[in-house]
Structures are given as structure tokens and as C-alpha cells.
Amino acid sequence: MDRDPSNGDRQAFSPPPEALASPASWSSLLEHRVPAVTEALAREALLRVVSSRCCYGRAAAGRLVIRELRQQTLCRYRLETFAESRTSEWASQPFGSRSVDGPQRGARPGLWDLEVQVPPMFQQDTKKFQVPHSSLVKDCYKCHGRGRYKCSSCHGPGTVRCSSCSGAKRRARRPRRCPTCSGAGRRRCSTCSGSGNKTCTTCNGEKRLLHFAQLVVMWKNSLFEFVSECQLGCPGELLTKARGESLFRDEDSAVYPIVDFPLREISLASQRGIAEHSAALASRARILQQRQTIELVPLTEVRSCYQGKAYVYYIYGTDHQVYVGDYPERYCCGCAIL
């Protein structure tokens, strides 16, 4: 049986300090470096992106002089926590001749006593299930057990005032009988087809509703993300989305914080992320799986010159995305190359 995380017997998701994980040699992992960006690659990346923007001139990208390439490899830490939470709500449906699974058949189980099929890890989903032994039957609240209710257009008679003659039976400018209503001043209601009432859409005419408790199960990913300090001027939000080179990956039902990483801020981020997720989820959800990764994200600041004026653009990620805050040949305002 799954334990209810809201009771006093909570699961401890953070490992004891003495069990913290540390690879035998971080140095062996860090020996791998992302290839440096060359001047030719920097120009090619700019030309590729400029060609896709109608408001940027291609000539400047080909003629600007690249003065300096400043490169930095950032470390990005991510923690994903896949958790399951459960709530209940009342639901209803039209009652036919089916049997009623009510309290007479047994005690209603707790939310965490029901077994449900868990989706693939880290794939968010929501599913609803009828709780056993929670059903009861009542008259429909919408039609008060009649199965039908008065039409909202004609309010019962089955006819409405003719829209052509406004109920006058004759045309205003022509002293003859209205052809739309044949001089009656009223016409058949199109909403109820002249019956004056409508089948109740809540109970589908069954007059009664089956009420039951419904279990709502939500599987959700919580994300903690941290990027090491950037010494260049590239916008930080681009670096969180940039494609990186995988350096370290750890996945388990509960991962241990990283220690002794050459960049202390990464170790601290790992400890903080695991603690935050444990504190936020332990009281209201069940943690099923955790995954933490460290990626190397290359960043290059390209300092260039065009017609005597200095320009800077950035190449980031292993797929060499480009960010240009200012460009020499711009034909419209307010856009940057991303």
C-alpha cells in the first residue's frame, strides 16, 4: 500500500550527510571539453542566422572584422523530481439501470489505498478514477427529477413571436397577411421544435443522477535549475534553454546531493535543489523518481568592428545559437537575433 504523505509517517527523501554521492574522480569527467569556436565558425553562425531575418542586411555579417573571441564554458545543473499527488472531488453522471456501488458494499478506501498505473517516468499526466463504495443516487438537481425542463426560448408554449412582423400578423408597409407566420403573429419555436420543453442535458432524461467520489491523480515534474556564474554579457535566460554537452547524469528513486565538484556553486545548488523539492513535495505528494544532470554549455563572446564601430554578439550552446543585441545593418526596430 502507498502511504499517505499527509499523515505523520512521512517518507524521508533526503539522504543522510554521510551518504552524499561523489564520483571517484571529477577531474576525469572534466577532462572532456566542448570544442572551441573558431573565427570561421563564428562568422558562419552569424551569416546563417542573419540570412533568416528579413530586417538584417547580409553584407555587414560578411564584412565585419572579428577582433576577439572570448570563450567560457558554463556548468548547468538540473534536478527533476517526478511526483504523484492525489485529491478527491464529487462527480455525477446520468443514472440508468446499473447497480450502485455504495457504502452498503464496504468501507470507502483512502486516496492512497487505491492502486493506479503509473505513467512512464517524467511524463506529466492526470487521470481520474471512481472511488469504490462511494456512490449514491439522487434526483437530478437541474430538472428536479422530471427529466425535462421548459424551453428557455419559448418558456413552454412551443411558439415564439414572429420576427418578420413582430407579432402584428401583417407587414407594416403592406396591408396583407405576414407570409412567415401566415398571419398568426407567432411561429414554431426552433429551439424545442414546438414541444415547449427540452430533455434535461444533465441527466439525459433519466431523472436521476449517480453521484460518486472521484480520485484525481496528477503526475508532475518539478524542475530546479542553476547555471554557474557567467563572466560575459549574454542574457542569462538564454543559457538555461541552451543545448549543452552532458557531463554527469544520476537517476534514482531519491538522488544524493553532489559534493566535491570543482565548482563549489554546483555542489551547493545540488544540495539546495534536493532540499527544496523534498520540503515542497513531502507533505502533499509522493516522490517517485528523481534525476539530476550536469551539462557543459559553451559560450563565446565575439567582439567585432564594422565601419569603425564596435559590435558584440554571442554564440551559445553546442548547436551554436546566436544572440545579437545590436547589428550594423538593421532595417526595422525592436528585434534581436535569438
Give me the phi and psi of 285, to 5 degrees please.
-150, 170
Q: What nine digits make up the cell of 324?
A: 545579437
Higher pLDDT, 9 or 259: 259
pLDDT tens digit sequence for 175-217: 677 776 766 777 778 777 777 788 898 999 999 999 999 999 9
Determine the pLDDT at residue 213.
95
Distance CA 197, CA 208 (A): 18
Considering only residues 178 and 301, tell me which one the structure prediction assigns the higher pLDDT.
Answer: 301
Helix, strand, coil distribution of the chain in percent, nearest 5:
15, 35, 50
C-alpha cell at 106: 464496504
Report d(CA 38, CA 162) in Å as an integer.
Answer: 80
> What residue has cell string 398568426?
184
Q: Look at residue 26 in the predicted model and tell me its pLDDT.
A: 67
- Asked whether the predicted pLDDT for residue 326 surpasses 60, the reply is yes
